[in-house]
Structure 1
């Protein structure tokens, strides 16, 4: 539940997006736009992950949970649709742990796909930019390249 709430918070602070590119390279959350249908983008992301020899460890149905609980908590519905795809890489996880053991908290990686209630025609894709402890800059760059490669192949 905490992971879902954290993801939801990240969605809300993502900010404005540029077409098919990240909103701001210094932002904690990188957001992209897609011209493809929501379901296709989710499926494409899963396929791009598997094609890289990685395993999808889970899919979180974020909008289902938020929309179900919004009325009881006094919130408006933010998402028409929202899912987060989780996965990890053993190779990158080892590199993160070598840089600093606490970096293991970064795994699994998550790519979120969502459609806002207020912008029902636009599909967004977002991920958290990694900020690693220790000497993890090279590994963080590798994670960014992986995430953006998956997204670029999917949108």
Structure 2
């Protein structure tokens, strides 16, 4: 499995780990995907829908970064392709916000798929200790299913 640092706006990249998921400075968990970006995106979408969840939005962050790099004075290509799948769970979101209404800051949830120099990865941001760990467990389960397909 591969690893990738996904902090803030997909700004920095960490070392790829062959052992499994990597936690990048406790901000995210990233896994390698053994296949194409298209297959990873399809597997991720299928895993989210398979949990009975609706994908609210797909952020085409890779296209945006590519389209705007010259506008911001950069010539760095961060990703060949990158998308973030945004979704929510009404059941978990209600539970998390009943535990602490300020958990609204963590909603909706997102899982990214990215291709950087031929290395395809799936990952998600890490949530704080406490009730939000139930959401993190859901994200881990979804990514695990996408990796298994």
**TM superposition shift of 1:11:** 2.5
Q: 1:107 to 1:49 in 2, by over 3 A?
A: same
Higher deviation after alignment, 24-33 or 92-101: 24-33
Q: 1:19 to 1:150 in 2, by over 3 A?
A: farther
Higher deviation after alignment, 22-31 or 99-108: 22-31
Q: Which residue of 1 aligns with 2:82?
A: 82
Q: Residue by residue, what CA displacement relative to the aligned partner does 1:43-65 show, whole Å, maximum 9, x if unpaired?
A: 11111111111111110111111
Q: Which whole-Å CA distance do the structure 2 matches of 1:111 and 1:20 have between them?
A: 20
2:126 to 126, 129, 134: 129
**TM superposition shift of 1:124:** 1.2
Contact 2:86 2:110 in 1 (8 A): yes
RMSD of the TM alignment (CA)? Answer: 2.0
TM-score when scaled to structure 2?
0.85
TM-score when scaled to structure 1?
0.82
Aligned residues: 141
Higher helix share: 1
Q: Structure 1: where are the runs of 5+ without partners?
A: 1-6
Runs of 4+ in 1 over 4 A off after TM superposition: none
Q: Structure 2: where are the runs of 5+ without partners?
A: 1-5
**TM superposition shift of 1:10:** 4.6
Q: Which residue of 2 aligns with 1:151?
A: 143
**TM superposition shift of 1:123:** 0.2
